[in-house]
Amino acid sequence: MQEPTVIIIVGPTAVGKTAAAIGLAQSLQTKIISADSRQCYRELNIGVAKPSPEELHAVPHYFIDSHSIRQEVNAALFEELALQWTDQIFREQASSPATSSHPFPTAVMVGGTGLYIKAFSEGLDDMPPIDPAIRLQIRQLYEQNGLAGLQEEVRKLDPAWYAAGETLNPRRLMRALEVRLSTGRSILSFQTRGQQSRPFRIRKIGLQLPKEELHRRIHDRVDRMMEQGLLEEVRGLTAYRTHRALQTVGYSELFDHLEGRTSLATAVEEIKKNTRHYAKRQLTWFRKDPSIQWVDAGEPLGKALFK
């Protein structure tokens, strides 16, 4: 690497991305941009596995606690902000070369939100306009039949997207249905715009573990979250129950418990199961990217980057 470079660390949830990114950023004497669509919210903490105060103190992070859950945050906004932060990091290093251990500016990005990383790396695809009547129809379908109703419709109408999409995310499911019903085409057919050029190099490193070890880490993490007070965190977010940021693993299951639909033990087992499924979908997304260099999560990143 002999030019300004962003090193992006990706992988499934619980694989160890945060610790790896902090270690790498410290060795490069740079800052971290989080690419996580939930850790940006100040109101969410335990359930999104946000870095600890000690970790945030060790290395400055962007896009952690940067927004309120009341604000709209999406991939387009992340792309805009992350490009600004990257430029800021590069300019700071260029103006103070003595603070960096490398002769060229570097930044570290880390996260498991594939769409955000795609937006930063390549830009976003142009989506077609949606008929408001169709949007209302799909919203009513969700209100009447819930997540299962959305899943069944997408499975029938857009099986290609359903095979690899975020099928536990109502917003993604509704978006896929909107495009299909408005255009007669799969949303995948609109995700073909040529990659936008960036004025810096991008290196992507994927962390992986054997499935059994990853599942063990997922189960241990969920147990720790419950011990740390995840149920009380969810209870305190009841006012935001319908916010799309809370239609996600770790929150949906505990809202079901608090509303009397499941026992606490069942909710915890559902969190573990759904987190395993989410990790599988993350891997499906990232393994389609041939630019990612996969390494064992226990391997030093410096070895992978500079060998």
Confidence grade of residue 36 (pLDDT, cut at 50, 70, 90): very high
pLDDT tens-digit map of 131-163:
788 888 898 899 889 999 999 999 999 999 998
Name every residue whose Cβ is closer than 8 Å to that of residue 62 and which is 6 or more positions away in sequence.
31, 32, 33, 34, 81, 82, 85
Place of tokens 């600890």: 52
Give helix 211-228 / helix 264-286 axis angle, nearest 10°.
140
Res 222: pLDDT: 98
Q: Which of 7-21, 158-172, 217-231 has the lowest mean pLDDT?
A: 158-172
Judge contact between 217 and 15, C-beta under 8 A. Answer: yes
Res 228: pLDDT: 98
Distance, CA of 50 to CA of 64 (rounded, Å): 8
State the maximum Cα–Cα separation within the chain, in Å, rounded to a whole number. Answer: 61
Res 225: pLDDT: 98
pTM: 0.82
With a cut of 90, say whether residue 279 has pLDDT above it. yes
Place of tokens 């810096």: 200
Closest CA to 176 of 160, 192, 198, 195: 160
Name every residue whose Cβ is closer than 8 Å to that of residue 150 and which is 6 or more positions away in sequence.
138, 141, 142, 170, 173, 174, 177
